[in-house]
Structure formats: C-alpha cells, structure tokens
Amino acid sequence: MKGLVVRCTGSSCVVRTDDAGLVECRIKGNFRIKGIKSTNPVAVGDYVTITEPAGGEPSYITDIGERRNYIIRRSSNLSKQSHILACNLDMCVLVVTISHPETSTVFIDRFLATAQAYRVPVTILFNKSDLYDNAERAKADALCGLYEGIGYRCIQCDSLHCNEGIAALRALLKDKVTLISGNSGVGKTTLINCLLPDLNLKTGRISDKHDTGMHTTTFSEMFQLPEGGWIIDTPGVKGFGSFDMCQEEMSHYFPEIFACSKDCRYGNCTHINEPDCAVREAVEAGKINPSRYMSYLSMMEDESGNKYRSSR
C-alpha cells in the first residue's frame, strides 16, 4: 500500500493513503541505515510504501519513492549529521521578523542558498508588520528591496490579525506543496492559524530575557488547504548550517555573485583573495550587498574550516 507522509514525530510517521485513510507507521531499524545518512530517513512529503498489518501488527514503512527535491540542513556548524525538513516541494515560505526576535541576514542567506542548491523556490515573508515602528518599517522595506533585487519574492505580513499580505500569500500557496520555515518566535504557528483557523494550534510567547522564540511545534506536519495545496509546518530552526555543498559551487547559490563571477580573471576564482576578482570589485562598488558577501564567506568557511576576512 502506498501513501504520503503527512506527519513525522521521530519515532513514527502518519501516512495518508487512498484506501485506508491515515495510517500510523513505524520504520524498521535496518531501514534507518540503508544508505541514508540523515537523522530522519523518512520526512514529511515523502511518498512511501507501507505494509498492510494483520492481526494487530503495526504498519511499517518499507520503501521511499524517488524524491523530486528536499530541504536539508546541518543543525550546527560542528555537526556532521543532516536533517531533512521536508520533501517534494513546490515552494518554501521563509518567515522572518525584523525584531522580537530579529532574524539575521546570515540565517536568511543560508536558507536561500540551501533552497537554491536543491532547486526549491523561496518567498520571504516579513511577519509581524503590525509591530513595526518607523525605523523597523524602513528596515523591512530595505531588506525587501535587497532580496527582490536578487530575484526573490517578498511579502510583508500581519498574520496575528490576518491583515496585510495574507491575501497575496493565499494566492501564492494555492495548489502548491509549501514548506513554512523560520526561527522560533517569528510567528509560523500564528500564520498557519490564520490560514487554517480550525486547527487552533498552540502558540508561544517571546522570551523577555533573550528576545527569542520558544518552541511550540515539536514535529513536522502537513496540512491541506481548502483552496487547494498543502502547507508543511516545522519546528523552529535556530541555525542553518550548510550540508554537502562544495566550495567550487558555492557561488552558484548566490545569484548576484554567480552573475558577476563570469568577469573574474580566473575561472576557478573563489572570490576571497584572488587578483582581479569581479565579485569583490562589485562589493566595493556597492553592486553586491556586503551582508550577502559576508554570508557567502561564512558558508565557504563552513566547508573549509578556515576563517575568511573581507578585503573591503
């Protein structure tokens, strides 16, 4: 029997089948190590084959279908293990906030580069727009201008009151499978409650001491939208370490850096300290945003163990 994985808790999965509805399944121990290096060999969005239980026996996942794509991350720069957030996606919505808590541009850029590597389009959703003061509104506008200039769609959103940006987001999500991701506290659960109010998912508060979010979502789950399509809710992501990205291809995942790289003196330029580097010249000239270049250097550092310094 075949089906779609709609929930993963770590120890078990729930599979949506045409014949039997929702089926709770386990994963056989030997399946976990069969050429799959991630901490979760089965992820939400996977199409799987399951056993049909008899006599009260539990169902088991026995095979995973070929994945069209996936989003994978390394939880920290020191970790050698990967974690698959979701599979077979049409799009990601990266939920970020200007403050309370502030989402760093390094986190945004690492997520975008990873999605670019695995060919998943990303829309950046700037949430909590109802809380902006004048300076925060200006910052949000500036970041939208930066990322839209690179080619990413940006939406400013008030998910608490289901106002600004929600209509545009609904139109974007229709008939697509979309991963909703971001740091803890950026309002992912509030956003999903706005889109699907009958779920009434539990939301958390922001830590007064650290100005960070507290986890309320503890496992990944897929929800069907009434207008068509699916959204995948995931636990908040603290950091986004790159995984299995070779240095020679890193610039490919930063569209504006890749576009400039054709004018470098050397075809294998790493854009770190080589002479006549068109990328570093573009940074100096303000054609490439310095924050994007520093994010690029940080990801190159992940793969080499070296600390790079900008020559600016």
- Give the closest residue to 213 by CA, choosing from 237, 240, 241, 180: 237
Q: Using a pLDDT cut of 90, give the percent of the chain over it.
A: 60
Q: Give residue 47's pLDDT.
A: 96
Mean pLDDT score across all residues of the chain: 86
Q: Give residue 56's pLDDT.
A: 74
DSSP3 helix / strand / coil % (the chain, rounded to 5): 30, 25, 45
Q: Using a pLDDT cut of 70, give the percent of the chain over it.
A: 84
Query: Does 74 score more than 90 pLDDT?
Result: no
Average pLDDT over residues 57-70: 90
**172-230 per-position pLDDT tens digit:** 999 999 999 999 889 998 999 999 988 876 654 544 444 444 445 568 899 999 999 99
Ranking 47-51, 83-87, 157-161, 303-307 by mean pLDDT, the lowest is: 303-307
Please state the pTM of the whole predicted model.
0.87
> What residue spans of 25-104 are helical by DSSP H?
29-32
**5-30 per-position pLDDT tens digit:** 999 987 789 999 998 899 999 887 66
Query: Does 91 score more than 50 pLDDT?
Result: yes
Spatial separation of the C-alpha atoms in residues 15 and 3, rounded to whole Å: 6
Residue the block writes with tokens 């890193």: 250
Amino acid letter for position 134: N
Ranking 39-48, 142-151, 168-177, 232-241 by mean pLDDT, the lowest is: 232-241
Q: Give residue 184's pLDDT.
A: 87
Q: Which residue has the higher pLDDT, 37 or 42?
A: 42
**141-181 per-position pLDDT tens digit:** 999 999 999 999 999 999 888 888 999 999 999 999 999 99
Ranking 63-72, 169-178, 301-310 by mean pLDDT, the lowest is: 301-310
The half-sphere exposure of 171 on its side-chain side, counting CA atoms within 13 A, is 5
Q: Who's near 149: CB < 8 A, 6+ residues apart?
A: 256
- Between the ranges 98-102, 142-146, 244-248, where is the mean pLDDT highest? 142-146
Average pLDDT over residues 295-307: 77
- Taking residue 283's Cβ as centre, other Cβ atoms within 10 Å add up to 23
